[in-house]
Structure 1
Amino acid sequence: MIRCLAVDDEAYATKIIADYIAKIPFLTLAGTTTSAIEALTQVQQGNVDLVFLDIQMPELTDMQFLKLLGGRCKVILTTAYPEYALEGYEHDVVDYLLKPIPFDRFLKAAQKAYNLLQPVKNAEPAVLPAATEHLIAEPAAPAGNNHIFFKGDSKNKFLRVNYNDVLYIEGLKNYISIFTPEQRLVTYQTLRDLEEQLPQPPFYRVHKSYIVSLNKIRMIDGNLIYINDQTIPIGETYRDEFFRIIRDVR
């Protein structure tokens, strides 16, 4: 697991980075700060592997910060100013993200950091548990008509998930997160592949990044689906078909 620190003089910007970090299985949030000095202290204490650093910090410039780091961790620069990119790369940063940062671009930068850090961190597996002690990899074929088996983190190990336990499923590029009331299960697979294995109903694709269980929907308000405390958007491509299905099952 790569420990990440989000550093920006705007608190809202650190929250965006923190939210992105929470979506990627091999990242974990070590903290957020609006102070470059506090960030440097955390890094020097050995608690951080990767820093997402805004260039325009009041206490230290990004280049001063990078020099003081002394190579203790990797850095991804975040800024609204593309003209600083070349200078950043001269200081061996992992990547350079321009604000506003799309999630797919953030994920690409995170993967670059993963590829650089894993030899140092003893080749940990690329997919790590998030909010759960379970680690699952590639889904096996469905078994029976009320559950699915997922291949586990060791040979001949499988984890059974009952369809009725699934709240919703989120896809992040080639990663899938399956949310149940007790845990989040992570697998390396595309959402499209998993969609083909799931029964319809109760499962329906409502967005390029989400599949929901109709049985778990608490409320629909406009283009938003509410499942427990989670809000899931309805994509424009899926909207007409989804509401047709909802009308049919009422």
Structure 2
Amino acid sequence: MIRCIAVDDEAYAVKIIADYINKVPFLELAGTTTSAIDALGMVQQGNIDLVFLDIQMPELTGIQFLKLCGSKCKVILTTAYPEYALEGYEHDVLDYLLKPVAFDRFFKAAQKALNYLLPAVLPPSNYTPSAPLPALPDASPNYIFIKGDSKNKFLKVGYDDILYVEGLKNYVSVFTPLQRLITYQTLRDLEAQLPQPPFYRVHKSYIISLNKIRMVDGHTIYIQDQAIPIGETYRDGFYKIIREE
């Protein structure tokens, strides 16, 4: 087994990576943290093989972490900023995952780690497993948990039920055919949790489900009876996607 930790200053991002780790039979989740300094302490204890590491963290950047941990473990970077990829590879990272991370892309990175670390994690030659490994998962989760109106309340919403999402400062409204759910979260944070496709940001205040589009007329998307503007910044990418569908 490859002993892993997930490190990100955003708790929801840590949860996503931790859930992914738990789905892969040859990975073992040894810990999670939102502090790069705490993660460095775990690595320095010498029993961590692989770190899934966010680059942009307040206490210690991912690049600084790489310099400090040296060869004690291997690292797979996770970030929303592709411009850091080259610098990461200069520090011998195994892979670079761009947020939001889809499970199939995560699994490819995990396989790359297995191939690299195989001699270190293989059991002795006379070892006989007591049971076969579980089958690999064949799909990512098809739902998301949205924080409710109390501390420990979370609402499970299927991706296929989401029509579109509207952001307003630190709140987002998630619209489904039956209800509107309001949660304290930024649109950017929620965007990182939603798979792309089918979800796509079309405006600074809107994320839509491509599957729910009824019509596109000029720079306006219609989902059911709701008219959603396409922001100028997002137009080229959006039109490219729908023309390739």
**TM-score normalised by L of structure 1:** 0.52
1:21-45 deviations in Å (ceiling 9; x for gaps): 0100000100000001000000000
User: How many pairs are equivalent?
Assistant: 142
For 1:100 and 1:94, the matched residues in 2 are separated by: 18
User: Helix, strand or coil: the match of 1:32?
Assistant: strand
User: Helix, strand or coil: the match of 1:136?
Assistant: coil
For 1:76 and 1:89, the matched residues in 2 are separated by: 10
Give, in angstroms, the shift of residue 11 of structure 1. Answer: 0.6
**Match of 1:147?**
none
Q: What residue identity is the alignment partner of 2:132?
A: I
For 2:44 and 2:10, the matched residues in 1 are separated by: 23
Gapped runs of 5+ residues in structure 2?
Answer: 142-157, 162-245
Give, in angstroms, the shift of residue 208 of structure 1. Answer: 9.8
1:147-184 deviations in Å (ceiling 9; x for gaps): xxxxxxxxxxxxxxxxxxxxxx97525xxxxxxxxxxx
Identity over the aligned pairs, expressed in percent?
71
**Match of 1:4?**
4
Q: What residue identity is the alignment partner of 1:7?
A: V
Q: Does 1:135 align with 2:131?
A: yes
**Match of 2:137?**
172
Q: Is 2:23–2:136's contact at 8 Å kept on the other side of the alignment?
A: no
Give, in angstroms, the shift of residue 134 of structure 1. Answer: 4.4
**Match of 1:118?**
118
Correspondences of 1:209-220 after superposition (within 5 Å): none
Give, in angstroms, the shift of residue 135 of structure 1. Answer: 2.5
Q: Is 2:52–2:78's contact at 8 Å kept on the other side of the alignment?
A: yes
**Match of 1:18?**
18
Q: Is 2:77–2:93's contact at 8 Å kept on the other side of the alignment?
A: yes
Q: What residue identity is the alignment partner of 1:136?
A: P
4+ aligned runs moved over 4 Å, structure 1: none
**Match of 1:94?**
94
> What is the RMSD computed on CA atoms of the aligned residues?
2.9
For 2:82 and 2:24, the matched residues in 1 are separated by: 25
For 2:140 and 2:72, the matched residues in 1 are separated by: 38
Correspondences of 1:47-196 after superposition (within 5 Å): 47-121=47-121, 123-124=122-123, 134-136=130-132, 171-172=136-137
Q: Is 2:25–2:136's contact at 8 Å kept on the other side of the alignment?
A: no
For 2:118 and 2:102, the matched residues in 1 are separated by: 24
Q: Is 2:102–2:140's contact at 8 Å kept on the other side of the alignment?
A: no
**Match of 2:30?**
30
For 1:135 and 1:23, the matched residues in 2 are separated by: 17
For 1:24 and 1:99, the matched residues in 2 are separated by: 19
Q: Is 1:118–1:124's contact at 8 Å kept on the other side of the alignment?
A: no
